[in-house]
């Protein structure tokens, strides 16, 4: 390690020294990179932020490569002047950025410190010490700052350092006057007036210096010259301070010692104005009634400390409309004025706080010439001006807290209403009000106000489709309402059809100069390249929402960085977070994100989709490894991602339940717009989920199968088709799938995919069991066991449990016991709770019919416990149904009824058609047994009708149950 210090002199041509040795860095951009990093030494600056500070809007496509070259050059210089490895040690690379790890000394910082110390000396009466410090500061100035250094950061820094130079000159003259060195002050002021004749401050100080030097006539001449110059060149009169100074000199009243001071605030307050700057209220403001009532109470309350209320949310959500409406509601409580300021957060470059403070001060009666040039002085004047005023400030479109903070008054009777797309989370002490889209009834009311309530009532279906197309976003509703109001003959159905087209929806949400797209664009333009990429890539996923781990895979970033990007987008009002670690888009923002994608981002999309599906498949493999550790996942496509990690079966189930909608949407998207490689991953993802008993939707999988067939990929086609058929058979009880399953099995065997064929045979066995063909079911299960011995594609224990179920259906109780015990043996070795629960269910039934009801009931309890530890709702539902069945058979119908009802509820929550019908039948029987036929008969009717419709002969007993009971008939 080294104790070297980097010396950076910027007050003139840039000079760089390291350990007192000068570094010959000649490239202007390399100097700019070093100056930017040195300004924030010790902090990591991301590559996009560096690029934004180095280039303006016309950033070259190779910007990041150019930056790397500059960093390499700086490291080379550091290495040449330091120890081995100093280059990478002193200028470190971090994830997505660079950090200067050297202590930095800068002449500009030294000047600031000397100026502050001199002001302190002067305030304490030590003018001579102040003079020495200011002289030392002036010696550090070697010319125009940052000469030759390019880029927007350097331009902004030059302007800041120019202000520092003016402050230093003013302080030096003030001290010179304090010391009575009037001639020296006059000589210095002559140069300043010549260089900056438009600065009234130099003329004022020149008048003071000449008067103090006994040169009263010349002081008055300075005023006349300044008056003439201001009038001729700027069309302005001298400010009040210069005018007062002129009168004092005319009347021979000694002007203030040292500087031309402003009158006391107490004296000035009496002549100030009461502003009433507020946009017109919205006459048809609708919705948010409770919020309006609550915030009106907050803002209208009495007290010496009024609140800061910050209304935040996405573009177009109605922040400004709500704030203006609130301001009109409470304005009578603020006798000292109501002031509206647009902070320019929607502009590419927000308005400067100095300019805004100047506007605010003029609103309260200050003249332009009375406004200090120094930012801190202006801020102090602003806070003093509103310190004791009962005024309401409406600060609209705040870009962020840093921009907003200087405008906030201190504690006192002034209240502040802020609107921002930023979350303003760090605005401590404020009342934060995140705004969401309108509730359905309020959205209807708003559209009715704009487009006619009678018109909406005439076609309510189309009206609701229009509301859905607008995403209940107030701006979209106002635009659509205006368009419909101006086109009274347009049918709502036709317009609803236009909005249904996602590709053209944003174009429809435009009227005159107002558009939803423009509202979104204002926030999007402020994103750096990395955030822009994240916004676009996440928007291209059809998943309704994504966990941060999936976003990380999509973006090819680590989870910490992915979460930072998402949270930054949330803070910018461009993304939503419904719960911790999960993210989603408003539908219109998703469409906007797809529309604004740059060509490079569009080219990356197929790779991003591949990474996302890869993540989900890897995650499901992790689920299988935890739930069914003896079941091989080798036959599924290889994955590059680590996937989501799990510690318990319950977490697996919760994750799959949460992600089911996302996975179904992604299957549709991959079928429609993916590539062949990604379709292979998607087909295996669907198959792995189905094998685990996690059934989804079959239509997206059928689409996927057809797309793979069009690719010429027979294996992917067959595996996607197999997953779709499994979903139909298990989820909807479709018993017409046998032919398709045989075709799939044959195709997979032909292609050498014994694993896929094994799964197809298991499904054939399941279908035959449902149809009551027990011998055929046994044949398919035994064939699956033979194939599984070769591939381990499915758990042998799972198949032995299924065989035990076949024996129970055929009432072969000893064979059922033997098969169930075989399944339990496999379950014990593999640690599979699913197989254990299934086997215990069949063993319990066989044990009951073998004459041991107590053991049967105990086995049911064990089965239910295993199912609950496994976490799968379908397994729990089946275990509950078997428990209720055995309780009913052992004359405990009263206790069985709620258990059967719970079984039906569990199996209703998941796609599991035939087990649900069986549970309903058991439930109905328990109700009959306890004398509640009026509840049982409708259930039995539904079971009988459904079983007959789908052709499940094993449920024909439901019809028999119905025939034993007759519902009383009117007659």
Q: Are residues 629 and 708 in the same domain?
A: yes
Contact 805, 815 (CB under 8 A): no
Strand partners, 420: 312
- Whether residue 569 is contained in a domain is answered as yes
At a CB cut-off of 8 Å and minimum separation 6, what does 773 contact?
none
pLDDT at residue 971 in the model: 35
DSSP codes joined into one string, 921-969: HHHHHHHHHTT-HHHHHHHHHHHHHHHHHHT-GGGTHHHHHHHT-----
- Helix-, strand-, coil-residue percentages of the chain, each rounded to 5: 65, 5, 30
Q: Report the relative pairing of strands 97-100 and 44-46 from DSSP bridges.
A: antiparallel
Contact 844, 882 (CB under 8 A): yes
Show the low-confidence residues of the chain (pLDDT under 50): 1-2, 257-272, 793, 956, 958-959, 966-971
CATH code at 346? Answer: 3.40.50.300
DSSP codes joined into one string, 526-569: T--HHHHHHHHHHHT---S-EEHHHHHHHHTS-HHHHHHHHHHH
Q: Are residues 330 and 345 in the same domain?
A: yes
DSSP codes joined into one string, 562-607: HHHHHHHHHHTTSSEEEETTEEE--HHHHHHHHHT--HHHHHHHHH
Closest alpha carbon to 690 in 612, 756, 637, 779: 756
Q: Are residues 79 and 14 in the same domain?
A: yes
Q: Are residues 492 and 576 in the same domain?
A: no
For residue 788 the two structure tokens come to 């599984």
pLDDT at residue 560 in the model: 95
For residue 457 the two structure tokens come to 């009532």
- Whether residue 202 is contained in a domain is answered as no
883-919 pLDDT, tens digit per residue, is 999 999 998 999 999 999 999 999 998 888 899 999 9
Q: Are residues 559 and 701 in the same domain?
A: yes
Distance CA 361, CA 354 (A): 10
- Whether residue 227 is contained in a domain is answered as no
User: What is residue 13's DSSP assignment?
Assistant: B
| Helices (H) then strands (E): counts for the chain | 45, 17
Q: Are residues 147 and 292 in the same domain?
A: no
At a CB cut-off of 8 Å and minimum separation 6, what does 842 contact?
801, 804, 805, 807, 808, 816, 819, 820, 823
For residue 244 the two structure tokens come to 């007062």
Residue 325 phi/psi, 5-degree rounding, is: -60, -45
Distance CA 445, CA 448 (A): 5
Distance CA 189, CA 173 (A): 8
Strand partners, 17: 7, 22
Q: Are residues 333 and 461 in the same domain?
A: no
Contact 762, 784 (CB under 8 A): yes
Cα–Cα separations (whole angstroms), residue 370 to 258, 379, 950: 18, 13, 87
Q: Are residues 430 and 451 in the same domain?
A: no
At a CB cut-off of 8 Å and minimum separation 6, what does 269 contact?
none
CA dihedral sign, ordered 717, 721, 722, 723: positive
- Whether residue 10 is contained in a domain is answered as yes
Q: Are residues 465 and 543 in the same domain?
A: no
For residue 792 the two structure tokens come to 């381990």
Strand partners, 46: 97
Q: Domains in the chain: how many in total?
A: 5
Distance CA 396, CA 546 (A): 32
Distance CA 37, CA 45 (A): 7
Give the SS3 label for residue 9.
strand
Cα–Cα separations (whole angstroms), residue 762 to 504, 720, 756, 766, 788: 47, 16, 10, 6, 10
- Whether residue 407 is contained in a domain is answered as yes
Residue ending a domain, choose from 152, 179, 206: 179
Burial code of 151-181, b = ≥16 C-beta within 10 A, e = fewer?
bebbeebeeebeebbbbbbbbbbbbbbbeeb
Closest alpha carbon to 201 in 377, 361, 341: 377
pLDDT at residue 970 in the model: 37
- Whether residue 761 is contained in a domain is answered as no
Distance CA 688, CA 793 (A): 10
pLDDT at residue 263 in the model: 36
CATH code at 153? Answer: 1.10.10.10
Contact 862, 868 (CB under 8 A): no
Q: Name residue, tokens 């041991």.
A: 852
Q: Are residues 457 and 422 in the same domain?
A: no
Q: Are residues 453 and 554 in the same domain?
A: no
Distance CA 875, CA 869 (A): 10
Residue ending a domain, choose from 471, 496, 519: 519
Give the SS3 label for residue 50.
helix
pLDDT at residue 2 in the model: 44
Residue 680 burial (CB < 10 Å; 0-12/13-18/19+)? buried
- Whether residue 413 is contained in a domain is answered as yes
Residue ending a domain, choose from 519, 537, 553: 519
Domain that holds residue 287: 276-353+388-434
Angle at CA of residue 699, ends 693 and 705, nearest 5°:
90
Burial code of 618-641, b = ≥16 C-beta within 10 A, e = fewer?
bbbbbbbebbbebbbbebbbebeb
Contact 375, 354 (CB under 8 A): yes
At a CB cut-off of 8 Å and minimum separation 6, what does 24 contact?
77
* pTM score over 0.85: no
CATH code at 881? Answer: 1.25.40.10
For residue 198 the two structure tokens come to 């438009």
Cβ atoms < 10 Å from Cβ of 776: 17
Cα–Cα separations (whole angstroms), residue 298 to 292, 396, 426: 10, 19, 21
Residue 599 burial (CB < 10 Å; 0-12/13-18/19+)? exposed
DSSP codes joined into one string, 336-382: T-EEEEE--TTSSSPPPHHHHHHHHHHHTT--GGGS-SSHHHHHHHH
pLDDT at residue 789 in the model: 65
- Whether residue 6 is contained in a domain is answered as yes
Residue 12 phi/psi, 5-degree rounding, is: 140, -160
At a CB cut-off of 8 Å and minimum separation 6, what does 109 contact?
none
Q: Are residues 545 and 420 in the same domain?
A: no
Give the SS3 label for residue 773.
coil
Angle at CA of residue 768, ends 872 and 724, nearest 5°:
55
User: What is residue 434's DSSP assignment?
Assistant: E
User: What is residue 417's DSSP assignment?
Assistant: E
Distance CA 254, CA 311 (A): 52
Burial code of 346-381, b = ≥16 C-beta within 10 A, e = fewer?
beeebbebbebbbebbebbbbeebbbbeebeebbeb
Cα–Cα separations (whole angstroms), residue 684 to 225, 633, 722: 86, 10, 10
Strand partners, 8: 16, 106
């Amino acid at each position: 390690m080294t104790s070297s210090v980097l010396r950076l002199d910027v007050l003139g041509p840039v000079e760089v020294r390291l350990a007192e040795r000068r570094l010959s860095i000649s490239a202007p951009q390399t100097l700019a990179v070093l100056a930017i990093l040195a300004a924030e030494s010790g902090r990591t600056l991301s590559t996009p932020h560096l690029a934004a500070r180095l280039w303006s809007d016309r950033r070259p496509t190779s910007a990041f490569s150019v930056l790397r070259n500059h960093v390499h050059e700086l490291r080379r210089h550091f290495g040449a002047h330091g120890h081995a490895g100093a280059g990478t040690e002193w200028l470190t690379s971090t994830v997505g950025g660079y950090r200067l790890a050297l202590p930095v000394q800068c002449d500009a910082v030294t000047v600031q410190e000397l100026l502050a110390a001199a002001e302190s000396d002067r305030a304490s009466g030590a003018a001579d010490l102040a003079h020495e410090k200011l002289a030392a500061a002036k010696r550090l100035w070697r010319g125009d700052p940052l000469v030759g250094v390019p880029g927007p950061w350097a331009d902004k820094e030059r302007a800041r350092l120019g202000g520092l130079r003016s402050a230093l000159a003013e302080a030096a003259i003030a001290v010179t006057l304090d010391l009575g060195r009037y001639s020296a002050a006059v000589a210095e002021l002559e140069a300043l007036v010549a260089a900056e004749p438009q600065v009234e401050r130099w003329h004022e100080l020149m008048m003071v210096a000449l008067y103090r030097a006994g040169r009263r006539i010349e002081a008055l001449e300075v005023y006349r010259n300044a008056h003439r110059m201001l009038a001729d060149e700027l069309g302005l009169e001298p400010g009040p301070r210069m005018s007062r100074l002129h009168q004092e000199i005319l009347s021979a009243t000694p002007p203030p010692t040292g500087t031309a001071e402003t009158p006391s605030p107490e004296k000035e307050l009496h002549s100030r104005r009461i502003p009433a700057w507020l946009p017109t209220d919205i006459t048809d403001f609708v919705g948010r009634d409770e919020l309006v009532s609550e915030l009106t109470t907050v803002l209208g309350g009495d007290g010496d400390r009024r609140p800061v209320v910050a209304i935040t949310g996405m573009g177009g959500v109605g922040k400004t409309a709500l704030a203006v409406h609130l301001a009109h509601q409470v304005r009578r409580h603020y006798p000292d004025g109501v002031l509206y300021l647009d902070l320019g957060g929607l502009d590419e470059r927000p308005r400067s706080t100095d300019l805004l403070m100047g506007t605010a001060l003029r609103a309260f009666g200050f003249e332009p010439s009375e406004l200090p040039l120094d930012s801190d002085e202006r801020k102090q004047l602003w806070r003093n001006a509103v310190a004791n005023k009962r005024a309401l400030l409406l600060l609209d479109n705040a870009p962020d807290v840093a921009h907003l903070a200087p405008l906030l008054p201190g504690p006192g009777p002034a209240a502040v209403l802020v609107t921002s797309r930023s979350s303003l989370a760090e605005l401590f002490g404020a009342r934060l009000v995140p705004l969401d889209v309108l509730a359905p009834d309020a959205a209807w009311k708003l559209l009715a106000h704009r487009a006619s309530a009678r018109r909406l009532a005439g076609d309510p279906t189309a009206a609701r489709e229009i509301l859905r197309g607008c995403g209940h976003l107030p701006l979209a509703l106002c635009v659509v309402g205006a368009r419909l109001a101006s086109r009274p003959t347009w049918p709502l159905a036709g317009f609803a059809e236009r909005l249904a087209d996602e590709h053209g929806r944003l174009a429809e949400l435009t009227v005159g100069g107002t558009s939803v797209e423009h509202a979104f664009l204002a926030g999007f333009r402020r994103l750096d390249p990395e955030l822009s990429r994240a916004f676009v890539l996440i928007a291209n996923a059809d998943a309704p929402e994504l966990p941060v781990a999936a976003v990380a895979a999509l973006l090819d970033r680590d989870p910490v960085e992915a979460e930072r990007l998402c949270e930054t987008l949330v803070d910018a009002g461009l993304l939503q977070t419904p719960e911790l670690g999960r993210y989603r888009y408003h539908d219109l923002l998703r469409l906007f994100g797809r529309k604004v994608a740059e060509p490079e981002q569009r080219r990356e999309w197929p790779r991003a989709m591949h990474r996302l599906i890869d993540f989900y498949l890897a995650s499901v493999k992790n689920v299988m490894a935890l739930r069914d550790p003896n079941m091989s996942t080798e036959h599924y496509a290889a994955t590059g991602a680590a996937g989501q990690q799990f510690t318990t079966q319950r977490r697996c189930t919760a994750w799959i339940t949460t992600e089911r909608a996302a996975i179904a949407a992604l299957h549709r998207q991959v079928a429609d717009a993916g590539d062949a490689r990604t379709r292979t991953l998607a087909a295996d993802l669907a198959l792995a989920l189905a094998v685990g008993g996690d059934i989804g939707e079959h239509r997206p999988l059928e689409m996927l199968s057809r797309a793979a067939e069009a690719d010429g990929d027979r294996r992917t086609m067959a595996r996607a088709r197999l997953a779709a058929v499994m979903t139909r058979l298990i989820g909807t009880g479709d018993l017409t799938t046998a032919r398709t399953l045989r075709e799939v099995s044959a195709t997979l065997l032909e292609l050498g995919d014994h694993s896929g064929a094994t799964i197809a045979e298991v499904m054939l066995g399941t279908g035959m069991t449902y149809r009551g063909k027990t011998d055929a079911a046994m044949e398919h299960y035994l064939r699956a066991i033979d194939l599984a011995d070769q591939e381990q594609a499915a758990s042998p224990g799972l198949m032995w449990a299924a065989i035990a179920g076949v024996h129970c259906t055929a009432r072969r109780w000893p064979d059922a016991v033997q098969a169930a015990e075989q399944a339990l043996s496999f379950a014990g070795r593999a640690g599979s709770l699913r197989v254990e629960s299934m086997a215990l269910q069949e063993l319990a039934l066989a044990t009951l019919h073998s004459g041991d009801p107590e053991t049967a009931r105990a086995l049911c309890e064990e089965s239910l416990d295993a199912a609950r530890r496994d976490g799968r709702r379908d397994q729990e539902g089946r275990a509950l149904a078997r428990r209720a069945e055995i309780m009913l058979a052992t004359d405990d119908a009263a206790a069985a009824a709620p258990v059967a009802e719970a079984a039906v509820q569990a199996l209703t929550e998941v796609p599991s058609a035939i087990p649900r019908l069986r549970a309903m039948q058991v439930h109905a029987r328990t109700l009959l047994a306890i004398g509640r036929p009026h509840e049982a008969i409708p259930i039995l009717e539904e079971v009988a009708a459904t079983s007959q419709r789908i052709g499940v002969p094993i449920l024909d007993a439901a019809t028999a149950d119905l025939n034993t009971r007759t519902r009383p008939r009117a007659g």
